[in-house]
């Protein structure tokens, strides 16, 4: 298997984040029971945020937005299909609901209110345009690599606001240079800074992976400023993303955290997709990396007054399907990702952009 990260394969295609070319559908965490005092709505929306959609439905029913349940926030610039819940006593009122940007596709009875995070993942459908000649073959090749190896799990641009600088205000809040009273706004901005630090750490680890493709372990240690011998056993691992002594791992696609002690053994388990490395969202009560992995993590482990967490650094892309329409030069692609992961990570690898 060729594990060379496909950055040298530059693909020129056009992608528009619009309802015509981009669809996101939630994959529920569980089947709905068909009975109970809650009503689950399968809703399709376009050109509006999840908040705007919830407001439109709650205003029609005559309830507060906070009385509704939802599993996650979905992109405004896409056709999105998601699940929300209301009390079943509002079922008759909902039969009269009509909105040009919202359609209720199905309803289900269920025992519980839908909570944030109650989804297994999301299924994405994307149309790439102006895919001409050899570009189609290049996309096929990179997609094959993605299916076998996965992609890095960066936070997407939408996490950082329209101008991409929400994290700067989050940093100022943490340093005491900015005062904001609203608790939710403060937590959102500090969370953006957590995401910025995670992306910085992941970029550093990706740099190490690329160096190990081209140079020896000793040469890479020198470039990265790591102690002599600290990368022993990394270059020959069967994965593009190289594990380090002391890395924090998680069972995949969910499970407990543990530190790497037997590097060779854990690298084999990572290759079989049984486990995956987990990067740091700095904060309180967080498990930290140790040894060599800890040395790389330290600059990104700042004190943040939020609950800390670990997030998968490397994710698998599943249910991949593709269709090439030659006469239109369209490359249609669909795939599934775990919850909280961004389709832009797949698109970046398809483009061959350096990450």
Check: CB of residue 226 under 8 Å from CB of residue 204.
no
Give mean pLDDT, residues 102-128.
95
Cα dist from 276 to 5, 148, 174, 312, 348, whole Å: 17, 14, 30, 7, 20
Give Cβ neighbours of residue 85 (< 8 Å, ≥ 6 apart). 38, 39, 40, 41, 68, 69, 70, 110, 112, 113, 114
Q: Is the pLDDT of residue 38 over 70?
A: yes
**Architecture of the 30-117 domain:** 2-Layer Sandwich (3.30)
- The tokens describing 231, both together, are 């990368």
- Tens digits of residue pLDDT in 233-286: 999 999 999 999 999 999 998 889 999 999 999 999 999 999 999 999 999 889
Q: Is the pLDDT of residue 354 over 60?
A: no
The confidence score (pLDDT) of residue 161 equals: 78
Task: Name which of 215-219, 303-307, 345-349 the model is least confident about.
Answer: 303-307
The confidence score (pLDDT) of residue 6 equals: 67
Mean pLDDT, the chain, as a whole number?
93
pLDDT band at 300 (very low <50, low <70, confident <90, very high): very high
Residues with a catalytic annotation lie at: 75
The confidence score (pLDDT) of residue 1 equals: 39
Which residues of 1-146 form beta strands (DSSP E)? 22-28, 38-46, 69-70, 79-87, 102-110, 119-128
> Could you tell me whether strands 248-251 and 257-259 are parallel, antiparallel, or unpaired per DSSP bridges?
antiparallel
pLDDT band at 2 (very low <50, low <70, confident <90, very high): very low
Other beta carbons less than 10 A from residue 329's beta carbon? 17
Q: Which fold has domain 152-315?
A: Pseudouridine synthase (3.30.2340)
């Amino acid at each position: 298997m060729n594990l060379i990260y496909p950055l040298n394969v530059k693909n020129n295609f056009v992608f528009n984040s619009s309802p015509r070319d981009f669809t996101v559908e939630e994959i529920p965490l569980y089947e709905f029971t068909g009975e109970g005092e809650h009503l689950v709505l399968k809703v399709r929306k376009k050109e509006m945020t999840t908040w705007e959609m919830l407001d439109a439905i709650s205003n029609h029913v005559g309830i507060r937005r906070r009385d509704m349940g939802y599993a996650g926030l979905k992109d405004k610039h896409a056709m999105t299909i998601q699940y929300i819940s209301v009390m079943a006593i509002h079922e008759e009122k909902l039969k009269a609901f009509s909105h040009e940007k919202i359609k209720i596709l199905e309803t289900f009875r269920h025992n519980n209110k839908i909570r944030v995070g109650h989804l297994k993942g999301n299924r994405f459908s994307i149309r790439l345009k102006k895919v001409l000649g050899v570009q189609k073959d290049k996309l096929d090749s990179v997609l094959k690599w993605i299916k076998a190896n996965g992609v890095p799990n960066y936070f997407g641009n939408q996490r950082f606001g329209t101008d991409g600088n929400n994290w700067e205000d989050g940093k100022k809040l943490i340093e005491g240079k900015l005062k904001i009273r609203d608790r939710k706004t403060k937590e959102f901005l500090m969370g953006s800074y957590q995401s910025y630090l995670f992306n910085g750490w992941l970029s550093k680890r990706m740099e190490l992976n690329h160096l190990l493709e081209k140079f020896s372990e000793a040469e890479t240690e020198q470039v990265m400023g790591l102690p002599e011998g600290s990368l022993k056993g990394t270059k020959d691992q069967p994965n593009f993303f190289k594990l380090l002594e002391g890395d924090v791992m998680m069972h995949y696609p969910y499970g407990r955290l543990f530190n790497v002690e037997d590097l060779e053994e854990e690298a084999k388990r990572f290759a079989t997709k049984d486990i995956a490395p987990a990067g740091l969202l700095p904060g309180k009560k967080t498990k930290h990396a140790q040894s060599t992995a800890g040395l790389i993590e330290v600059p990104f482990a700042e004190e943040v007054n939020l609950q800390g967490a670990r997030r998968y650094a490397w994710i698998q892309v599943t249910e991949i399907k593709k269709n090439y329409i030659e006469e239109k030069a369209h490359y249609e692609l669909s795939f599934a990702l775990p919850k909280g992961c961004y389709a832009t990570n797949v698109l970046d690898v398809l483009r061959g952009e350096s990450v």
